[in-house]
Structure formats: structure tokens, C-alpha cells
């Protein structure tokens, strides 16, 4: 697939706590990429369902989910907050998700994939940089178990429409609403800082939840 990154690095935005988390606590919560595939079952204390979130920002929402759902393992988040709660069901990979999925993750590894409030690249000339494209879904469908879910949320209506079109037209994903309509907000989804910002700007929020029907 053409070069699409899950994030763009921006310097100067880490707090002191975050910098500490990415250095001192890396041994406990960070994942250094091997040359080949990651042994996901060896990352966590318990072998249980794994949720992958890409583009987790400051990690508040994923942290909250990991605290409330100790019966699931979560991959993502900034490590300094995880240390405060002594969590054993959280890990972070500090690399581009597309490259990680392509080169370091076995098929049928995740039960749920989350993408909350990704960069909308709202200028028309930048639409090609959006993460949610057919090629990315092709890759994702191989990494999520058959019957696993994809949950995306955005506060940009145009991107929501784009996500809906791409997902609805993909042969491996089926809308949980059985129609090309958006999903009600699930109970497990915390409010993120990006969502609060969207509300302040007068934006709506659109959730899309699809099932992977073929791995």
C-alpha cells in the first residue's frame, strides 16, 4: 500500500511526565519492535482478548478503558499514566501503526481495533493522507479475528462520510447497524480531549462500528 502514516510526529508537545514515561518506565510498558513478528501473548501477564488503539493522543481514554476492563489487554497509550495505576494489561508501541501492522503483527491478533478522532486532513488536497483507506482496511482485516470489531469515531462530518463509504464498500466489513448509518455511542467509550474540543467547536460526533467477517 502507498505510504500512509498513522501519525505525524510533532516536536515540543511532551510534558515532563510524558518524557519520563517514555524513558524511565519504558521497560515496564514499552514494546521494542523485533525484526520479525511480536509475540503478543508474551507481552501481557494474562492471555485474554486484545484491543488495539491507534492514534491514542495523550492516552486518557485508553487508560480509562484499561482500568475499567481488566479482563482485556490493551495495546497503546503513553506509559507514564499507566505506571500510576500499576496496570498489567497495557502496552505501548511508539512507532507508525501501518508499518507495525504490516511487518510485526501476526494475522488474527486483535479482537477490536479503535481509531478515535484521527487527523481528518480536512483540506481536499490532503484527503489522500487519511489513514482510513481501502488499502489500510485490507491490512486491518487480516489482523483482526473473524467476528472482531472495528470502532472509529470522528468529529469531522466529511471524514465520517468518507469512513462510512470506505467501510461499507469493503468486502470484509459489515456495519453492526445493518444499514449505512452510524452507531450509537457504546458504553465502553470514554470521552476524549479531542471529543471535548469538538463539542466546544460545535462539532457533532460520529461513531462507526463494523464487524470483520473474513480474516
- Residue 18 has what pLDDT? 56
pTM (2 decimals)?
A: 0.84
Strand-strand pairing, 206-212 and 173-175: antiparallel
pLDDT digits (tens, 9 = 90+) for 94-128: 888 889 999 999 999 999 999 998 888 788 888 88
- What residue has cell string 478515535? 116
Query: Does 202 have pLDDT greater than 90?
Result: no
Q: 179 catalytic, yes or no? A: no
Most confident of 20-34, 35-49, 182-196: 35-49
Average per-residue pLDDT in the chain? 85
Q: Which of 119, 138, 155, 179 is catalytic?
A: 119
- Residue 32 has what pLDDT? 87
Q: How far is CA 77 from CA 19, 56, 95, 96, 212, in A?
A: 13, 6, 12, 13, 24
The Cα 93–Cα 41 span in angstroms is 15
Dihedral, CA atoms, 17, 22, 24, 30, nearest 10 degrees?
A: 130
* In this structure, CATH architecture of domain 37-212: 3-Layer(aba) Sandwich (3.40)
Boundaries of every domain in the chain: 37-212
**Alpha helices, H only, the chain:** 16-21, 26-29, 60-68, 79-84, 97-104, 134-143, 157-168, 193-200
Check: CB of residue 122 under 8 Å from CB of residue 158. yes
Amino acid at each position: 500500500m502507498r505510504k500512509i502514516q498513522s501519525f505525524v510526529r510533532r516536536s515540543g508537545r511532551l510534558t515532563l511526565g510524558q518524557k519520563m514515561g517514555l524513558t524511565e518506565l519504558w521497560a515496564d510498558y514499552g514494546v521494542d519492535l523485533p525484526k520479525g513478528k511480536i509475540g503478543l501473548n508474551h507481552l501481557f501477564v494474562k492471555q485474554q482478548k486484545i484491543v488495539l488503539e491507534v492514534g491514542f493522543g495523550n492516552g486518557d481514554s485508553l487508560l480509562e478503558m484499561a482500568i475499567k476492563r481488566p479482563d482485556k489487554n490493551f495495546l497503546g497509550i503513553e506509559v507514564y499514566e499507566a505506571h500510576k495505576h500499576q496496570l498489567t494489561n497495557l502496552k505501548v508501541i511508539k512507532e507508525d501503526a501501518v508499518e507495525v501492522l504490516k511487518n510485526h503483527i501476526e494475522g488474527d491478533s486483535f479482537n477490536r481495533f479503535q481509531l478515535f478522532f484521527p487527523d481528518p486532513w480536512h483540506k481536499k488536497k490532503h484527503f489522500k493522507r487519511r489513514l482510513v483507506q481501502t488499502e489500510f482496511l485490507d491490512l486491518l482485516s487480516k489482523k483482526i479475528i473473524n467476528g472482531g470489531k472495528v470502532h472509529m469515531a470522528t468529529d469531522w462530518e466529511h471524514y465520517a462520510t468518507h469512513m462510512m463509504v470506505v467501510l461499507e464498500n469493503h468486502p470484509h466489513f459489515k456495519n453492526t447497524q445493518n444499514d449505512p448509518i452510524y452507531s450509537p455511542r457504546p458504553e465502553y467509550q470514554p470521552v476524549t480531549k479531542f471529543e471535548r474540543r469538538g463539542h466546544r467547536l460545535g462539532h457533532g460526533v460520529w461513531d462507526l462500528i463494523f464487524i470483520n467477517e473474513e480474516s
